[in-house]
């Protein structure tokens, strides 16, 4: 089965006439739908609303943007100082999105959305740029085919569709499951590549409670219908982990399945994952205390921590825990005497050890202070 061809054909038809079987019930904020033309809303398909997790001023990339509904919602959220890029490989979908973009811009009072033709598992290759080159130099034989491959490789470097480290948040709505199994590692690597350090992916997709058997995977109708290509729940999260993401969490998992096929349940899941834990480790005598509620936790780097204990961490991890999604789970202890960057020794992050308070206070620390006076909201003594 040619999965990409099956998807292209079905979604090309879905751009011309609404297909109910491709749509999972989703409630979108009605204030953002008012300026979006009915054609876009009626012919857009999804299973979640990742746009509710974007913020003002961000640069957003929507994978498999279809007719552009999520892009047009996100454009209003990020505002005129933000930017939204939609990527889709289906020309009929792109036609609908591009035709309606000026309408949405006029109603919003600003234009911050653009749509590009590409495959979401190959975000470096601009398919319209490649189309233009091949129109001038058509593929007619094996030599010209090999030349086309070289041309595509050159375009990925010289004129990438999406450059590395340029996106604040990657969103997608029920599209990743449509990508062929053989291309999925590359898909997640590409999401990671285009994100800035500190950026995040917020992906809504259909997942299965069990691994989908091969006989269902070989059905083009079920595959293009967001069924048989569904990730198994745990495998979906592990794909982010394998690509180097951290802070991976499920934002939403539908209780009721969207569809059940031969006893296999398929439901919508929205996942958030962050980029930015890479880098060298240096010791600044900092410590963190895990506050609970679990007795013990294990982070994405294999660091095991019991609640209430002071753990030595490198400066990179210390700062990482101060950001979402971790910051509410820890207390942070800075050294009394700051360690300059040039004086900080390397830190072994391969395991975890406790940090003695004297490491942060200083070995010669012998201060004696009076009791801290507690004051109430009216400025008086609260004791």
pLDDT tens digits, one per residue of 369-380: 887 777 666 766
Task: State how beta strands 246-253 and 264-274 pair.
Answer: antiparallel
Q: Which residues pair with 269 in a beta bridge?
A: 205, 253
User: Nearest Cα to 246, choosing from 284, 289, 206, 198?
Assistant: 198
Element (H, E) at 227: none
Domain range annotation of the chain: 3-124+160-274, 286-361
pLDDT tens digits, one per residue of 123-161: 999 999 999 999 999 999 999 999 999 999 999 999 999
Residue 276 gets the label, from left (phi > 0), alpha (psi -120 to 50) or beta, of left
Q: How far apart are CA 54 and CA 45, in angstroms?
A: 19
**Local structure of 19: helix, strand or coil:** coil
pLDDT for 9: 65
Residue 297's pLDDT band, with cuts at 50, 70 and 90, is: very high
Q: What is 3-124+160-274's CATH topology?
A: Rossmann fold (3.40.50)
pLDDT tens digits, one per residue of 282-293: 999 999 999 999
Phi, then psi, of 133 in degrees rounded to 5: -65, -40
Q: Which of 5-19, 44-58, 96-110, 342-356 has the lowest mean pLDDT?
A: 5-19
Answer whether 208's CB lies under 8 Å from 178's CB: no
Q: How far apart are CA 296 and CA 88, in angstroms?
A: 43
Question: Which residues, other chains included, contact 210 with Cβ-Cβ below 8 Å and sequence gap of 6+?
Answer: 232, 264, 265
pLDDT tens digits, one per residue of 180-221: 889 999 999 999 999 999 999 999 999 999 998 888 777 777
Distance of CA 167 to the CA centre of its chain: 10
Q: How many CA atoms lie within 13 A of 85 on its CB side?
A: 20
The answer to whether residue 116 scores a pLDDT higher than 90 is: yes
Answer whether 69's CB lies under 8 Å from 40's CB: yes
Q: How far apart are CA 64 and CA 94, in angstroms?
A: 10
The answer to whether residue 7 scores a pLDDT higher than 70 is: no
Query: What CA–CA distances, in Å, run from 218 to 7, 99, 119, 183?
Result: 13, 35, 21, 16
Query: What CA–CA distances, in Å, run from 204 to 63, 91, 375?
Result: 11, 23, 48
User: Nearest Cα to 284, choosing from 356, 331, 345?
Assistant: 345
What is the greatest pairwise CA distance in the chain?
A: 89
Q: Give DSSP secondary structure letters for 64-91.
A: T-TTSHHHHHHHHHH-TTSEEEEEES-H
User: Nearest Cα to 48, choosing from 63, 68, 26, 64?
Assistant: 26
Q: Give DSSP secondary structure letters for 322-349.
A: TSTTTGGGEEEE--SSPPPGGGPPB---
Residue 272 gets the label, from left (phi > 0), alpha (psi -120 to 50) or beta, of beta
Q: Which of 12-16, 28-32, 54-58, 105-109 has the lowest mean pLDDT?
A: 12-16
Answer whether 231's CB lies under 8 Å from 205's CB: yes
Answer whether 320's CB lies under 8 Å from 277's CB: yes
Q: How far apart are CA 254 and CA 276, in angstroms?
A: 29
Q: Give DSSP secondary structure letters for 175-219.
A: -GGGS-GGGHHHHHHHHHHHEEEEEEEEEEEEEESSPPPHHHHT-
**This prediction's pTM:** 0.89
């Amino acid at each position: 089965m040619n999965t990409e061809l099956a998807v292209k054909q079905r979604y090309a038809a879905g751009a011309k006439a609404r297909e109910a079987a491709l749509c999972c019930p989703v409630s979108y904020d009605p204030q953002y739908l008012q300026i979006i033309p009915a054609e876009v809303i009626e012919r857009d398909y999804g299973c979640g609303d990742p746009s509710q997790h974007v913020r003002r001023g961000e640069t957003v990339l929507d994978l498999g943007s279809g007719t552009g509904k999520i892009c047009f919602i996100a454009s209003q959220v990020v505002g005129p100082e933000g930017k939204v890029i939609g990527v889709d490989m289906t020309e009929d979908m792109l036609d609908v999105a591009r035709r309606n973009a000026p309408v949405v811009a006029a109603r919003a009072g600003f234009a911050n959305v653009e749509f590009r033709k590409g495959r979401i598992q190959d975000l470096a290759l601009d398919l319209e740029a490649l189309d233009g080159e091949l129109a001038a130099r058509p593929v007619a034989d094996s030599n010209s085919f090999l030349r086309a491959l070289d041309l595509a490789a050159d375009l990925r470097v010289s004129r990438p569709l999406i450059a590395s480290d340029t996106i604040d948040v990657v969103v997608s709505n029920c599209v990743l499951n449509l990508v062929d199994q053989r291309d999925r590692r590359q898909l997640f690597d590409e999401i990671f590549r285009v994100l800035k350090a500190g950026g995040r992916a917020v992906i809504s997709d259909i997942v299965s409670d069990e691994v989908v058997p091969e006989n269902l995977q070989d059905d083009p109708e079920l595959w293009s219908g967001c069924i048989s290509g569904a990730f198994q729940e745990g495998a979906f999260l592990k794909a982010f982990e394998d690509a180097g993401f951290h802070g991976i969490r499920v934002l939403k998992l539908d209780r009721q399945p969207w569809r059940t096929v031969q006893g296999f349940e398929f439901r919508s899941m929205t996942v958030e994952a962050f980029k930015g834990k890479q880098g060298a480790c240096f010791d600044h005598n900092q410590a963190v205390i895990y506050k609970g509620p679990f007795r013990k936790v294990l982070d994405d780097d294999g660091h095991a921590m019991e609640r209430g204990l002071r753990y030595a961490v490198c400066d990179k991890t210390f700062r990482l825990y101060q950001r979402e999604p971790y910051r509410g789970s820890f207390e942070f202890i800075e050294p009394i005497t700051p360690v300059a960057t040039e004086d900080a020794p390397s830190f072994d992050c391969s395991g975890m050890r406790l940090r003695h308070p004297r490491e942060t206070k200083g070995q010669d620390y012998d201060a004696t202070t009076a009791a801290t006076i507690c004051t109430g909201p009216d400025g008086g003594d609260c004791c």
